[in-house]
Every structure is written in structure tokens, then in C-alpha cells.
């Protein structure tokens, strides 16, 4: 499955267009490699996603074309969630 679609279906990112934009800005890694929105995601892959001051690392547990909101969290496991301190 394409990375941008997986992020939307799993509800890690709410909109596919936002997922595409983040991926195309080199802010997503699949198994440590830079990923584009069209990159393929497979079960067992490790995704690292940078949202501003937050970095989310997840493991892909399942891939489905569609899910209900309450089932979306079953598609991945959060490995690590870190926040950068912002100094002003």
C-alpha cells in the first residue's frame, strides 16, 4: 500500500493530502530510509514521522484498504513518541 494512503487509513494523519505533503518534504522514514508519498508500506516496517516538534515512531502491524475509526489503532503499534523542547 502507498505510504500516504496507509497514514490516512490508519488515521496517523487525518488527510491523505497532508500525508503526501509531509512525505514529500522528507519528514517520513521507512526503516531508516527517506520515503516519498508513493513509497510502499509492508507489515513489519518501521515508520518515523516528524510533525513539527514531535517525532512518532510506529511499527506497521496490519494493512487494510479501509477501517472504522475504532479499528484504526490496530494497524500499528507506537514504538516511541518524543517531543523537542522549543526555546524562546
Half-sphere exposure (Cβ direction) of 36: Cα atoms closer than 13 Å: 1
Q: Tell me the per-residue pLDDT of 16-57, one tens digit each, with 9 for 90 and over.
A: 999 999 999 999 999 999 999 999 999 999 999 998 899 999
* Beta bridge mates, 2: 40
| Cα–Cα nearest to 60, from 75, 74, 70, 79 | 75
User: What pLDDT does residue 84 have?
Assistant: 84
Domains of the chain: 3-83 (3.10.290.10)
The answer to whether the pTM exceeds 0.85 is yes
Q: Which tens digit of pLDDT belongs to each residue from 57-78?
A: 999 999 999 999 999 999 999 9
Quote the strand ranges of the chain, DSSP E: 28-30, 33-34, 46-51, 54-60, 76-83
| Rounded Cα distance, 6 and 4, in Å | 6
Quote the pLDDT of residue 85: 75
Amino acid at each position: 500500500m502507498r505510504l500516504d494512503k496507509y497514514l490516512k487509513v490508519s488515521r496517523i494523519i487525518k488527510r491523505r493530502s497532508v500525508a503526501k505533503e509531509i512525505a514529500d518534504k522528507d519528514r517520513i522514514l521507512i526503516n531508516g530510509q527517506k520515503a516519498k508519498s508513493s513509497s510502499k508500506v509492508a507489515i513489519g516496517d518501521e515508520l518515523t514521522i516528524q510533525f513539527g516538534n514531535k517525532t512518532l515512531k510506529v511499527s506497521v502491524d496490519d494493512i487494510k484498504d479501509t477501517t472504522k475509526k475504532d479499528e484504526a489503532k490496530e494497524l500499528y503499534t507506537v514504538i516511541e513518541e518524543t517531543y523537542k523542547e522549543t526555546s524562546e
